[in-house]
């Protein structure tokens, strides 16, 4: 296999890796807010359920969760979704896992906002939604940005776990080429890909942090 073919194969895997990455963030970041609200809810049942959800998601391997999501329709209901279910299952698995982590980060950020901010907003007549969106959220984002960056970088590397469900993302491609070529070179190229990807991610997040540092 020529180096060019190796690169183009890895690039096609990279496309899949990036898609998993983008879609997971797209869904898990907003979902995390709902989980965080559930975690802080006054209702005991809701609080308990979200706490349980978070502890299961954080306490079991992501690889196992992916397998459960992909295979449970068959083992529980004997519904055969076939290969069509493969990609949605991966996104669903990653999303529910990352939402749990994001929820805890959001919660820490929300709880770090002084009570006085809420009281000042209440006195000025802001509604609850306005208070959250205009006053609390912008401050929360600044606080949680470093923790979110960590999580996002972890996600870039975690995408390789999609191979569990036989999704041929970049790392699986590298493994297959390595097997066919009996060579370690594809792994080096894959490592470089991941590194550059994460370099871009951290550069982007750093810019965002700088932008937020006006106060």
* Interface ranges with another protein (CB under 8 A): 1-2, 5-6, 8-9, 12, 15-16, 19, 22-23, 26, 67, 70-71, 73-75, 80-87, 90, 114, 116-117, 119-120, 122-127, 130, 134-135, 138-139, 142, 163-168, 172, 175-180, 182-184, 214-215
Q: What is the nearest approach in angstroms of another protein to the Cβ of residue 180?
A: 4
Q: What is the nearest approach in angstroms of another protein to the Cβ of residue 49?
A: 28
* Residue 61: Cβ within 10 Å count: 11
Give the nearer residue to another protein in terms of CB position, either 111 or 119. Answer: 119
Q: What is the nearest approach in angstroms of another protein to the Cβ of residue 183?
A: 8
Q: Are 24 and 155 in contact (CB under 8 A)?
A: yes
Q: What is the nearest approach in angstroms of another protein to the Cβ of residue 123?
A: 5
Give the nearer residue to another protein in terms of CB position, either 45 or 123. Answer: 123
Q: Where are the beta strands (DSSP E) in the chain?
A: none
CA atoms of 86 and 114, how far apart (whole Å): 44
Three-class DSSP category at 42 = coil
* Residue 197: Cβ within 10 Å count: 19
Give the nearer residue to another protein in terms of CB position, either 47 or 175. Answer: 175
Q: Are 102 and 32 in contact (CB under 8 A)?
A: yes
CA atoms of 215 and 209, how far apart (whole Å): 11
* Residue 77: Cβ within 10 Å count: 8
Give the nearer residue to another protein in terms of CB position, either 101 or 163. Answer: 163
Give the nearer residue to another protein in terms of CB position, either 59 or 114. Answer: 114
In this structure, the dihedral spanned by the alpha carbons of residues 109, 112, 114 and 117, taken in order and rounded to 10 degrees, is 0
With CA atoms as reference, report the closest residue to 106 among 23, 197, 31, 13.
Answer: 31
Q: What is the nearest approach in angstroms of another protein to the Cβ of residue 52?
A: 26
Q: What is the nearest approach in angstroms of another protein to the Cβ of residue 190?
A: 13
- Within the chain, how many helices (H) and strands (E) appear? 9, 0
Give the nearer residue to another protein in terms of CB position, either 16 or 57. Answer: 16
């Amino acid at each position: 296999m020529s180096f060019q073919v190796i690169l183009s194969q890895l690039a096609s895997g990279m496309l899949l890796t990036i898609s998993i990455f983008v879609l997971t963030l797209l869904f898990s970041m907003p979902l995390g807010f709902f989980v965080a609200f559930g975690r802080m809810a006054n209702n005991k049942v809701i609080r308990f359920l979200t706490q349980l959800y978070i502890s299961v998601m954080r306490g079991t391997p992501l690889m196992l969760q992916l397998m459960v999501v992909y295979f449970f329709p068959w083992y529980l209901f004997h519904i055969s979704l076939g290969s069509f279910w493969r990609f949605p299952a991966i996104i669903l698995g990653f999303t529910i896992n990352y939402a749990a982590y994001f929820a805890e980060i959001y919660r820490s950020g929300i709880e770090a906002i002084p009570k006085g901010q809420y009281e000042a907003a209440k006195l000025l007549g802001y509604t609850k939604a306005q208070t959250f969106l205009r006053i609390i959220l912008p401050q929360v984002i600044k606080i949680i940005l470093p923790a979110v960056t960590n999580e996002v970088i972890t996600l870039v590397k975690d995408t390789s776990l999609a191979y569990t469900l036989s999704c041929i993302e970049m790392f699986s491609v590298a493994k297959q080429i390595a097997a066919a070529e009996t060579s370690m070179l594809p792994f080096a190229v894959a490592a470089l890909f991941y590194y550059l990807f994460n370099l871009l991610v951290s550069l982007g997040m750093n810019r965002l942090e700088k932008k937020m540092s006006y106060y």
